[in-house]
Amino acid sequence: MISLYLINKAENTIQKVEEKTFNELGFKEREHLQEWLAKKPDALGEELLIIQKEFDGFFDTSERLDLLALDKLGNLVIIENKLDDSGKNVTWQALKYAAYCSTLSKNQIKGIFQQYLEKSGSSEQAENKLVEFFDNMDYEEIALNKGQTQRVILVARSFRKEVTSTVLWLMNYKLRVQCFKVTPFALNDQLFVKFDQIIPLKDTEEYVISMADKTQDDINSQEETKSRYNIRYEFWKLMLKQLNAKSSMFQNVSPSRDNWLQAGSGISGVNYRFVVTNTFARAELNIQRPDLGENKFIYDELLKHRKEVEDAFGSELVWERLDDIKTSRIKWEKTGLSIFDKDDWPDSSEFMIDGMTRLGKAFHNPIKEVNKMLKAKQVL
């Protein structure tokens, strides 16, 4: 409940101004509230140019929006007015109008404005009024209704929960919707009206917009992650089919959403692994047991067989002990390949399948020897 008081300086007292309903005062939506805003749009807290009233120029529908305006950035602003009760459907109604208006071109907007001026009895030209509103910018340079920049302003004395909940949810998706609570007051024969922006609260508007940006970024990130998962799964599915026709190393492995896929080597925690990213494709022997000392022992023992392994493999490999972390690896890698570029898939698959097949053969005997040593508990 809003309390408003009139200050009497002479008597140093205050007198309560009674809050009323529009119905009590006999005011109508179109005859009064709509006209007030059409004549004084800055009551909504910013400079707006009303370009049409009761606009019905939508294709294949007779629906009418209350007020159509432009803001200082050239965005269309759809203003929907209700009196004492917002009703349940005002949000959906306004969003429909915003969708309809999203296709309006600059010339169409000028024509709509010209019709409004003529209907209002004005002899002024819409183009001149637009130039004036946009601070005397050349008409050719004025950008109107670019992209999905339409805004919605809802005005009512009372908003239903269905409306406010929907508006708050829509703001998470960066739809620019504002709710203004309009309250009439009476003191004797004097009448007053107060406009308060309640969503988003004026003092927290920047924060709410920032949170909406973050929410949208999070949503986009989730969609990107989902897309990456799907791409990886599809790639692994195709590659495994090709690999299993040539080797049994990955026969019991299923496609994954991860950027790696691995199969056992015969030693727990030592795996033959494929790794793909947006910059490289790799086949490797990955050593990642729980104990760092065991990992380095296994790596060092395999390193003793380096010449034998690389002779069998047919090329030099990259040996990475990685002293500061638990993992060690021996890898065969090619850069300049991206899993997210399907044109690279044939090269990536061919490179990794060939590399993994040769890795398996090259490490077959050294792995067996190291495994015997581990079982004999010769780990330092």
pLDDT at res. 137: 87
pLDDT at res. 297: 94
The secondary structure of residue 158, as a DSSP letter, is S
Q: Which residues contact 190 (CB under 8 A, 6 or more apart)?
A: none
pLDDT at res. 173: 79
Q: What is the CATH number assigned to the segment(s) 4-199?
A: 3.40.1350.10
pLDDT at res. 134: 92
The angle that helices 364-375 and 306-313 make with each other, rounded to 10 degrees, is 150
pLDDT at res. 380: 46
Handedness of CA 250, 256, 262, 264 (dihedral sign): negative
Out of 3.30.1460, 2.60.40, 3.30.310, 3.40.50, the CATH code matching 228-375 is 3.30.1460
pLDDT at res. 59: 65
Q: Report domain extents, the chain.
A: 4-199, 228-375
Q: State how far the Cα of 218 lies from the Cα of 158, in Å rounded to an integer.
A: 33
Kindly report, residue by residue over 106-118, the tens digit of the pLDDT: 999 999 999 999 9
Indicate the pairing of strand 280-287 with strand 328-335: antiparallel
- Give the count of beta carbons closer than 10 Å to the beta carbon of residue 338: 16
Joined tokens for residue 195: 């406009």
What's the predicted TM-score (pTM) here?
0.59
Angle at 379 between CA 375 and CA 380, to 5 degrees: 160
Q: State how far the Cα of 295 lies from the Cα of 20, in Å rounded to an integer.
A: 79
Give the residue carrying structure tokens 């917002």: 86
**What residues in the chain have per-residue pLDDT under 70?**
1-2, 59-60, 202-225, 377-380
